[in-house]
A and B are shown apart, each in its own frame.
Chain A
Amino acid sequence: MSKSSQGAKPKVTITFNGQDIAVEADQSLWTIAKQQGVLIPHLCHRDEPGYRADGNCRACMVEIKGERTLTASCIRKPSQGMVVTTDSPRVKISQQQLFTALLANQPARAEGPDGESSLWQWADKLGMAGTGKAYDLPAIVAEPDASEQDNTHPAIAVNWEACIECGLCVRACREVQGNNVIGWQGRGADARIVFDFASPMGLSTCVACGECVQVCPTGALLETSQSKARLSSDMNKISAPPTPQSPQSHQTPQSPQSSQSPVILDQRVVREVNSVCPYCGVGCQTKVGVNKDNRIVRVDGRDGPGNHNRLCVKGRFGYDYIYHPDRLTKPLIRREDAPPKDSHHLVKPHEWSRYFREASWEEALSKAAKGLSQIHKQHGPNALAGFGSAKGSNEEAYLFQKFIRQGFGTNNVDHCTRLCHASSVAALIEGLNSGAVSAPFTDALYSDCIIVIGARPAENHPVAATFIKNAVRQGSKLIVMDPRGQHQGLTPWATHVLQFSPGADVALLNAMLHVIISENLYNRDFIEQRVEGFNSLLLRIDEFTPEAMAPICGIDPAVIREVARLYATSKASIIFWGMGVSQHIHGTDNARCLIALSLITGQIGRRGTGLHPLRGQNNVQGASDAGLIPMFYPDYQRVKEPANQAKFEAAWGVSLSPTPGLTVVETLHAAAEGKVKAMYIMGENPAMSDPDQTHAREALCHLEHLVVQDIFLTETAGFADVILPSSAHAEKRGTFTNSNREVQMARPAVPLPGEARQDWELIQDLAQAFGLAWDYQHVSEVYTEMASLMPSLTNISWERLEREDAVTYPCLGPNQPGEAVIFATNFPTPSGKGLIVPAAYTPPGDSLSQDYPFVLTTGRLLEHWHTGSMTRRASHLDTLEPTAIAGLALADMQDLGIEAGDMIEVETLRGKIQLAARADADVPQGLVFIPFCFNEAAANFLTSSRLDPFGKIPEFKYSSAKITPLRP
């Protein structure tokens, strides 16, 4: 967690409770005591990574011979000859007085927010816990009144009366998560914790990461799900789970609570399951708390390699989508008398019965398979295509692509990586022959200079962002390059903020390359030994002077020089990027520039250096690795290489197509043209996620046979002929690979609802119905087969993952930790060298005009993930961000004559949508930002399906648009 180097630790001898022991000099007395089997009481001290001992609660006092006062063991280091006693009479008086005084100011145990809090547990252990206010000390604050609770936040309850001012929440919020919301007010006995300017929590800048809740020792900060105050309130009645059932019970639109009698839930956790988070590519390890009714009621973070106990609002509070009434629990078949498929009409979950009827599994699977095989027979393999999912497990991804390749005989299989990092992967494979990150995001802690470009990790990878913020706290320099500001994210932490002109990435990055080359800041040795193509860069870079590029990218040449020098000359520099780099028609060129930056400076292959495209989905790395890509078999083995074809033909026992298949957008084009006639889509939602949605939805309508496997009746499923209800993340077992190349084990926390089935079983059933002789008995068998075909998974067995929960690939031995940082000595290219491919500046596909004067850019919100199919059904997340918004600069809103919250129409050449305006300080003038998670105003009606020529990724980040205010 820190830069301090490992070495032999100096030791000292101390006398501990009468015994002489040799101890490490840089450990606290508290830790030494723990090692000696003495657990010293502690409240403000958290014995977990990232937490600084603060020594303020004074529960952990010990006596040191010769010192006038007692000392806090959590913050004191030993010195030679120190005589330490943990149980002297003075120590005991101190402990007793502390708990007497604290408990005198607590609500009675039964009435307080959390009678099982760490405070009460210690009071029990010390024999101090009475049952009521049996402490004959006066309370120092007035009796709690109504204002002593802050219930303004949907997910977190604040119970001031239970607060002991230990400040753990302040450290959690500011030092660990770096969110800087919680702090202090006043002093002395009147000191209390506050949010921002003592705002109600729900109106503060709180991002609800819930770290404070996880560490609070008293329940003063508590999940509302766990708060006694809320147990009898309407909140729980509203979110009471329906007993698993089909959507049948929702034939007419109705609010879910009206269909049930009020249920008061028992929210107590009776068992916990170790798993991983279902959301982004950070891959936080979780501890899922389940109540006696097998319902998830709480999620905490675990000490995984990528999260160190941390979570974000989605991971911690976004778990209840699996109980949403829209959950599919029975197979559905399109009714013979259903209205024709209409690209302009999305089937709403509540109107399902006009379009679908329930079916048995037998009927549904047979109809699904028959439809596919008929098309196969009539039109050949290439009339079929499949979209797998980056949300599913590695095993599911492997089986899916195997089914498409082995069963359909085509390589028409892809998934949403095409829409996020396809261009990054194209450039990385071209340059380094490896599509994965070179170092984990936690390596930010070893970096001196961190560039974050085209990524907003505080919103999209919040836990990864915490490590970047931690690094800045330790002294690293942070350069943020993003047309939009990140005022509530990384901007306040950044040494340099470059809000460059949208689409001008290559101009900016080439100008940096120009500075590094013209000022001789490049690493000659590294280039000589490990790089190819430097000369071609030299030939092309001349025209990209900072002065020439400044008018294009909008950044002062002096600033370009400064950041270029900083990146090149820092001891260790690392680059993080996201969709802002990749989602352009020149996305591959953007990534080529980043690769060139790292190669010419030698900022790769060491701790704290490298290239890290931040992965968007929980398993987009794993799904890509597993071969859910039209040009690659598992492990990026090219389908057109005869040797690869032979290897997989041998493994799968059929002949395979040597032709790379269609990518996501190409597939939909082909469907529209009638070339692709049937599809199997598992857990993907192209009707929301794909560009130029009018066209995408028309393409889906045009299919003769569409099988959709999902947990909800998604926008895409509305166009299906057969819908197979499947498993949510919390219900399945399998491995998932995060952005850091850490393969992690997820375990089912709760059973499947109704007749829903495991995804991998459904793929197998379809494969069998298609005539394939599959017979996997357990998901572990799938893993083992997959690993045998993927050199990257060598030494990472299923059993090992069961045992260790996470192993990084590549891994050099069954007992060795994986290689967090790769490319230390060579690149996996034929020559062993990295290849620089110079990039030319290409303007964006759309151009601004008088009619379309705004640049439209799309993306995500902190609370909503991808198309919103999960998060908009998660009660807390949807409460926090319930409405489709378009972010605009205040000045533009004034010019348009609108106020925050007014409705506007945003139109591009592709289409138009209506939604509310948000005054967004992050948005510069001339830009409009629209998140693509809102189906009531789907941003992808507006985006263009023009593609990057290499990565085949659409340009989601740049469309020209016009804005018209709508008068009420």
Chain B
Amino acid sequence: MAGQQSKAGGNSTKGRFTNRGRVLASHEREEFQAIMAQESRPLVADRLIEYLHIIQDKLGYLPLGLMQALGEELKQPMVAIYEVASFYHHFTILADGETPPPKTIVRVCESLSCALAGGKNLHKSLSKALDGQARVELAPCMGECDHAPAVMVGRNPIAPANADKVVEAFVKGAWHTPSAHWPSLADYRAEGGMACFEKLRSGSLTKETIIEELHKAGLRGLGGAGFPTGRKWDLVRKAPAPRLMAVNGDEGEPGTFKDRLYLETKPWQILEGILIASWVVEAKEVYIYIRDEYPLGLKILAEAMQELDALGMTSHTKLHLRRGAGAYICGEESAMIESIEGKRGLPRHRPPYVAEKGLFDRPTLVNNLETMLWVPFIVQHGGAEFAAKGMNGGAGWRSYSVSGRVAEPGVKLAPAGISLNQLIQDYCGGMAKGHELKAFLPGGASGGILPVREADRPLDFGKLEELGSFVGSHAVVVLSDKDDLKAVAENLMEFFSLESCGQCTPCRVGTRTVFKLLRQGDWNVEKLEALSQWMTDSSICGLGQAAANPIKSILRHFPEVLP
């Protein structure tokens, strides 16, 4: 009996002759066991997404039978597996009787920077060129915005991409994570790396000193929310044990790619920061959540963590690496926590805040990857020295991910508080040839769109809010006179409507409704204003609350483009 829906068969005419629902066949159970042979037992529910990856990586899709076998072993109902698998873009569910699709997925980035560089046309040509051989899909930002347009062939990122390069890579079978060259721990130690953590471990440095230095440095959460890091650590440290920690490497905000760069070039700094943080807040376990769009970073971290474990440097805690599965919303800290727990990435209601009740309902320190990077630097050089790096009232260095119409896009390490004009002139070699600055996104898709007249304002937390905008993850996308702002807004609204988790009505219905209106060319101000206010006022999380920012920006700063 093949795995299938409950069966009315045999030589009787009516009735149900199997148990209710889909019947798991023994060959499906055996295939599942074979695929999972490497996994330690018992399987645990919070690793559900990891298990789904194992199947998806092996087959290129998730057959229902294997999902059912997984559920059986996890003692989870079918729907609990199904709803997680169907939530994440990187899983493909294969229904019973469906023909398996080609194994390899070619993802073409359609987010703003890549769209400006012709991503959608590239998708069209690749769909034709690879028809029947690969699944060619549009996908959101892959963190390669400075090399737009980006394409991911299986696990192999290609940027900048063109059709020929991609087809060549595909034909050559270059589908796998490329080999990485990254500094060794010895190199890092040679520059004085790990010294802070060792001092902390040996007791020559106290937890209080560290927090004090973080206060002095004015370090703020660099995932986008900008919450003072020292204060967060202090709060969590005082919460009841056991405490946990989660590191947010789900850098999904379109236009942001600093975390990817640091992951691939400075993994030891990040890990030292994590070791220090987990020591200071006495986190029993640390979960590092990296988006699935960063295969290289995942590989590097996995190896580096193994090395640290082997050296006994993680003896005060336990490090876990968790792999996202294609969901922008999981960059939202409580959605990330849900995802680490093996669930759909639905943001939680606040209060309670994750510092009180986070991962597995324990007090949890959640920090962004780059925030961790700066911790050893600050401890080594002193908070004051870091703070002094800022300008225009800002404190410290900031990593601006600059893309779009500039001559030299990339991650620009610049003083916090720098203005857009200065960033472009001093760090990006000016505007791209033939382009004149017209507008810019200071904080990725959600930070709103500002006109050129605001280009002298400091790009820092708290400085753009009065314009209905924010700097967020410092993802600066520069637009020029050649760009159609309405098309930009439409691109951003499409992104939000595809990435909304669907939990609350204003975001689920609002993002899609606004996108549909824009696509129809219906820029009715009254309608859009009411919808925007509703989404901003009544959505559960930052995604929905900020999703209307592109529209609000156009209505407020660019009325001239409206019909």
Contacts and interface: CB of A to CB of B under 8 A. Distances in A.
Interface of A: 55-58, 61, 69-70, 72, 75-76, 90, 93-94, 96-98, 101-102, 104-105, 136-138, 140, 164-165, 174, 180-191, 194-199, 203-207, 487-488, 492, 880-883, 885, 890, 898-903, 916-922, 968
29 contacts: A56-B540, A61-B537, A61-B538, A69-B538, A69-B539, A75-B349, A93-B537, A98-B538, A101-B506, A102-B505, A137-B517, A137-B527, A174-B77, A180-B79, A180-B80, A183-B80, A184-B344, A186-B502, A188-B497, A189-B508, A196-B21, A205-B78, A492-B76, A881-B15, A883-B12, A899-B10, A901-B15, A902-B10, A921-B23
Given A56-B505, A180-B79, A918-B17, A188 B512 contact: yes
Interface in B1-25: 1, 5-12, 14-23
A188 B500 contact: yes
B504 A185 contact: no
B530 A93 contact: yes
B501 interface: yes
Nearest to A138: B516
Contacts of A199: 5, 21-22
B79 A195 contact: yes
Contacts, number: 233
A919 B18 contact: yes
Greatest chain A CB density within 10 A among B349, B505, B530 is at B505
Interface in B57-98: 64, 67-68, 75-80, 82-83, 86-87, 93, 95
Interface string B99-135: 0000000000000000000000000000000000000
Given A90-B537, A900-B17, A186 B86 contact: yes
A98 B544 CA distance: 14
Q: Which 7 A-B pairs have the closest CB atoms?
A: A901-B10, A883-B15, A183-B79, A205-B21, A191-B502, A180-B77, A97-B534
A543 B510 CA distance: 71
B87 A102 contact: no
B545 interface: yes
Of the listed residues A75, A165, A199, the one surrounded by the most CB atoms of chain B closer than 10 A to its CB is: A199
B7 A56 contact: no
Given A90-B537, A188-B500, A492-B77, 14 more contacts: A90-B533, A138-B520, A165-B508, A180-B80, A188-B497, A188-B499, A197-B64, A205-B21, A899-B9, A900-B1, A918-B18, A919-B1, A919-B7, A919-B18
B494 to A, nearest CB: 11
A188 B540 CA distance: 13
Contacts of B498: 188
Contacts of A881: 15-16
Given A98-B506, A203-B6, A184 B87 contact: yes
B19 A97 contact: no
B508 A188 contact: yes
Contacts of B12: 883, 901-903, 916
Nearest to B78: A196
Interface of B: 1, 5-12, 14-23, 26, 64, 67-68, 75-80, 82-83, 86-87, 93, 95, 327, 329, 344, 349, 497-506, 508-513, 516-517, 520, 527, 530-531, 533-534, 536-540, 545
- The A contact surface, by secondary structure, is loop
Given A56-B504, A188-B502, A902-B10, A197 B17 contact: no
Contacts of B520: 138
Given A138-B516, A197-B68, A901-B11, A189 B502 contact: yes
A69 B504 CA distance: 14
A70 B349 CA distance: 12
A187 B499 CA distance: 8
Contact of B1 (A97, A197, A882, A899): A899
A97 B5 CA distance: 42
A54 to B, nearest CB: 9
A189 B500 contact: yes
Nearest to A55: B349
Contacts of B7: 900-901, 919
A181 B20 CA distance: 11
B534 A93 contact: yes
Contacts of A918: 16-18
Nearest to A195: B79
A887 to B, nearest CB: 9
Contact of B513 (A101, A165, A492): A101
Nearest to B12: A916
Contacts of B19: 487-488, 919-922
Contacts of A204: 20-21
Nearest to A921: B19
Contact of B9 (A180, A196, A890, A901): A901
A187 B325 CA distance: 13
A170 to B, nearest CB: 9
B14 A882 contact: yes
A207 B20 CA distance: 8
A98 B534 contact: yes
B82 A189 contact: no
A184 B93 CA distance: 14
Contacts of A136: 527
Contacts of A902: 10-12
Nearest to B329: A187
Contacts of A919: 1, 7, 17-19, 23
